[in-house]
Structure formats: C-alpha cells, structure tokens
C-alpha cells in the first residue's frame, strides 16, 4: 500500500496505476452529487444537517429509517431502524465486526476466528485483528469455465465449523476476483451458520442493490442471523466515508457503542447527500441504470484488452467477471512468484497487486496457485489499462510462461 501511495503521489503520467481500489469517475453520478450539494446549500438547515452537527453514534435517525424502509419495501426483509448502524466506511464496519465477534474473549484465552469459506478474499481484512491472526480460510475449488477463464467455488467438503469459529464472512462480489457466490452457495453458508448459531457476514461493498456492480442475477440475501455491510464508496462517494450495516439489533447496538467510543459520531455528509435518493428509491435506479452498465461495459472492454494482450501463445486465465472492478489473472506454472512479477512491473511503472496477499488465513506455502495470480483494477482509463496489460504480458513472456502443460483445475 505504501508503494501504491508513493507511486500515486510522485509518479506522474508514466505511472500505470492498476493496483488500487479507486472507483471510476462516472460523470452522471458526479452530476447527481453536484445537484445534491446545491440542494443542501439552498435548503433551510441543509448545510447544518450535513456539516454542523454530531449525529447519534448509530447514525442519523431519518437516514436509518430510510435505509430500513428501502430494504423492507423492496425485498420484504423484516427489519426496522434498530437493525441499521452507520460506520465510517465499510472498512471500519468490518474492523468493528471482526473484533467484536472474534479474537481473545473475556475469559482471556479462547481465540475465536472468522471463517472465510473461500479465499482469495479482500486484502483489507487481513490485518484487522487487534489481537493477532483472526482468520481461518478454506481454499476454493477451481473450475474451468471457458477458454482462458475459470471460477472459484466454495469447497463445502472442506468446510468445518469448529467450536472456535465465531462467524462466517464473504464479500459478494468478491474483491479481488469478481466472483459472485451463487444463491445456492449463500443459502448453504447461511444454513451452516444458523445451525451453529453464528452470524453470516456478507460484505456488499460492490453488491446489490447498491452500488450494484454485479453482472450475474444474484438475489440480495438477508436472514435474521446475517450481518450485511454496504458502502457508499463504489457508487462514487468514497470521500464521505459512509458504511451501512444491517444486522441483529444486539450487534447493531454494539456497533453504535463502538462508534461512540472510537469516534463519538459518524460522518454526516454522505447520509445527507443520499437521504432523498434512499427515501425515493432513486438510488436503486441509479445503481441499475447508471453504475452497473458503466462498469459492465468497462469490464467487457477490459477483458477484451486482456485477451488481445495475452493472446493464445501464453498459458493464462482470468477469473470470470461477475462483479466488482478487477481482473484476477492467473498464470499457471509462473516460474517467478507474483511478488517478483510485481517488482518487475513496478520497475516499469506498472502497479498491480500481487495475488498472495489475498490468500491470508491459510498457510499452505506449497500451494503454487497463491503465487501465480495478480489483481488488476479496470476502473482506470482504457489507455492506461491497455498499456499496463501489454507490459504485464511482456514480463510474463520474459519470465518464461508458455502455452504448455496447464495443470488440471480441481
């Protein structure tokens, strides 16, 4: 992360930043934000609500009611404002939840873990435990789904809920792969969590119904034991630091206490910008008609650019793009480790994220796959992406990857 920050700060035009998780600028969404800011400035008390008050620690009461109403009316979920808490971004929501549920318990010794039923999983979770390693992760099944394409699936045969598991967690769509757990996989995970009386955390940072960067028909999931996290970042408001958690009232009350202790109150501006869009349901239309088509078209162009850059003479695959803003590239038999590939690319001004960082919670160092993947953001402009992909292909060729002997997917 340090490298990426320095590269952005000092790199200039020659840096190809394919590494970060910055959302794209979507002109139609920027116009909505500009209009909302103008409305807040014009309406009586608007600026005060947006900038000049401490809201209650759990969030602005009218916003909490609007969020509960949106999900209740749209999906029939049996929730009210007591099921909702605001946090300073989805990242903080995860930090609060993981450390609330897992880690060292009040009896001093027992270390509870978060089960990740499928890795690779979001790099931002990896170091969130204030009490050391928090995760127990299960490697996926790998299914070949097309020429140069594969998909990870949950390996339910390896999934065991031992007494030290405090919760199950997935991101859907998954950062870094763009995988979307199927409705069936989610239903099985939910049943498993329910039967062991533990929560199922679903991180919807890219998910449905907002921001809706999800290209497969996937039903938004809720159950009384589910904890859902949402974010305003990928719809275009990362600077407002607004996370939304839907969960059982006892967990939500604890999140409110954590917000009070850690930060008194949460950022208000994102909630005030969004409020009328949530109350009218307009946020759903914008996600469906603006954000999703924007990213889907960009994703298709990115996949085409990857096919052109890597061609057929190289042994390479990309994960099926079912959502999120990344290409997840796999070079089976890569003679160097993804970290070395990262260093070679960095020397040429191209920044990606080496894949091994996303395989935390599972310590099989012999598993070659974890060193053969990289994450590339396609939210950047297309010239940068195409140039970057061409450079990656050159380095892959220079490293000696060829079209021979692709290992069988399991």
Ligand X SMILES: Cc1ncc(COP(=O)(O)O)c(C=O)c1O
Q: Closest separation between CB of residue 148 and ligand X, Å?
A: 25
Q: Terminal CA-to-CA distance of the chain, rounded, Å?
A: 32
Identity of the residue, 68 or 97, whose beta carbon is nearer to ligand X in the bound complex: 97
Q: Closest separation between CB of residue 96 and ligand X, Å?
A: 12
Identity of the residue, 286 or 396, whose beta carbon is nearer to ligand X in the bound complex: 286
CA distance 388 to 310: 12
Place of tokens 């999800």: 214
Place of tokens 């909702």: 84
- In the complex, the residues that contact ligand X under the rule CB under 6 A are 21, 89-91, 122, 124, 171, 175, 203, 205, 231, 233, 238, 243
Identity of the residue, 67 or 336, whose beta carbon is nearer to ligand X in the bound complex: 67
Identity of the residue, 180 or 334, whose beta carbon is nearer to ligand X in the bound complex: 180
Identity of the residue, 60 or 171, whose beta carbon is nearer to ligand X in the bound complex: 171
Identity of the residue, 182 or 391, whose beta carbon is nearer to ligand X in the bound complex: 182
Q: Closest separation between CB of residue 26 and ligand X, Å?
A: 16
Place of tokens 């808490």: 85
Q: Closest separation between CB of residue 45 and ligand X, Å?
A: 27
Q: Closest separation between CB of residue 25 and ligand X, Å?
A: 16
Calculate Rg over the CA atoms of the chain.
21
* Those residues with Cβ within 8 angstroms of residue 315's Cβ, 6 or more apart along the chain or in another chain: 331, 332, 333, 401, 402, 403, 404, 405, 406
Q: What is the DSSP letter of 357?
A: G
Identity of the residue, 174 or 391, whose beta carbon is nearer to ligand X in the bound complex: 174
Identity of the residue, 235 or 385, whose beta carbon is nearer to ligand X in the bound complex: 235
Of the candidates 384, 398, 399, 395, which has an alpha carbon nearest to the alpha carbon of residue 20? 384
CA distance 358 to 365: 13
Q: Closest separation between CB of residue 122 and ligand X, Å?
A: 4
Q: Closest separation between CB of residue 180 and ligand X, Å?
A: 12
Token output for 283: 């946020």
**CA angle (322, 327, 328) in 5-degree steps:** 95
Q: Closest separation between CB of residue 33 and ligand X, Å?
A: 16
Identity of the residue, 203 or 395, whose beta carbon is nearer to ligand X in the bound complex: 203
CA distance 24 to 3: 21
CA distance 237 to 273: 10
Residues linked to residue 115 through DSSP beta bridges, in sequence order: 136, 168
CA distance 97 to 128: 10
Q: Closest separation between CB of residue 231 and ligand X, Å?
A: 3
Q: Is the dihedral of CA 377, 357, 306, 293 positive or negative?
A: negative
CA distance 176 to 392: 18
Residues counted in the chain: 410
CA-based max dimension of the chain: 68
């Amino acid at each position: 992360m340090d490298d990426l920050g320095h590269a952005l700060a000092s790199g200039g035009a020659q840096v190809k930043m394919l590494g970060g998780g910055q959302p794209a600028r979507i002109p139609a969404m920027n116009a909505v934000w500009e209009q909302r800011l103008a409305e807040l400035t014009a309406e009586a008390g608007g600026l005060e609500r947006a900038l000049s008050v401490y809201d209650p620690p759990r969030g602005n009461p009218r916003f909490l009611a609007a969020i509960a109403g949106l999900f209740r009316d749209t999906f029939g979920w049996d929730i009210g404002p007591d099921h909702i808490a605001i946090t300073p971004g989805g990242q903080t929501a995860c930090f609060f939840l993981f450390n609330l549920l897992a880690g060292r318990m009040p009896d001093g010794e027992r270390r509870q873990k978060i089960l990740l039923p499928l890795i690779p999983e979001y790099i931002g979770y990896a170091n969130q435990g204030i009490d050391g390693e928090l995760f127990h992760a299960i490697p996926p099944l790998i299914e070949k789904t097309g020429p140069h394409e594969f998909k990870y699936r949950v390996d339910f045969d390896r999934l065991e809920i031992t007494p030290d598991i405090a919760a199950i967690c997935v991101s859907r769509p998954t950062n870094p792969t763009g995988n979307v757990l199927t409705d069936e996989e989610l239903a099985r995970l939910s049943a498993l969590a329910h039967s062991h009386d533990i929560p199922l955390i679903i991180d919807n940072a890219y998910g449905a119904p907002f921001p809706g960067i999800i290209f497969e028909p996937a039903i938004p999931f809720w159950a009384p034991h589910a904890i859902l996290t949402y974010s305003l970042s990928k719809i275009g408001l990362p600077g407002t630091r607004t996370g939304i958690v839907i969960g059982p009232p006892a967990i939500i009350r604890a999140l409110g206490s954590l917000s009070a202790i850690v930060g008194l109150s949460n950022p208000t501006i994102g909630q005030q910008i969004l409020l009328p869009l949530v109350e009218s349901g307009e946020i759903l239309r914008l996600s469906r008609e603006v954000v999703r088509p924007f990213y889907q078209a960009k994703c298709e162009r990115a996949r085409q650019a990857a096919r052109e850059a890597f061609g057929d003479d190289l042994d390479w695959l990309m994960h099926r793009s079912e959502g999120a803003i990344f290409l997840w590239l796999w070079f089976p038999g890569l003679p160097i480790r993804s970290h070395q590939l990262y260093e070679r690319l960095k020397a040429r001004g191209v920044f990606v994220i080496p894949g091994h960082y996303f395989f935390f919670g599972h310590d099989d160092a012999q598993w070659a796959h974890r060193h053969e993947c990289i994450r590339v953001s396609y939210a950047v402009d297309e010239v940068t992406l195409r140039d970057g992909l061409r450079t990656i292909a050159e380095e892959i060729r220079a490293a000696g990857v060829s079209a021979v002997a692709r290992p069988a997917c399991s």
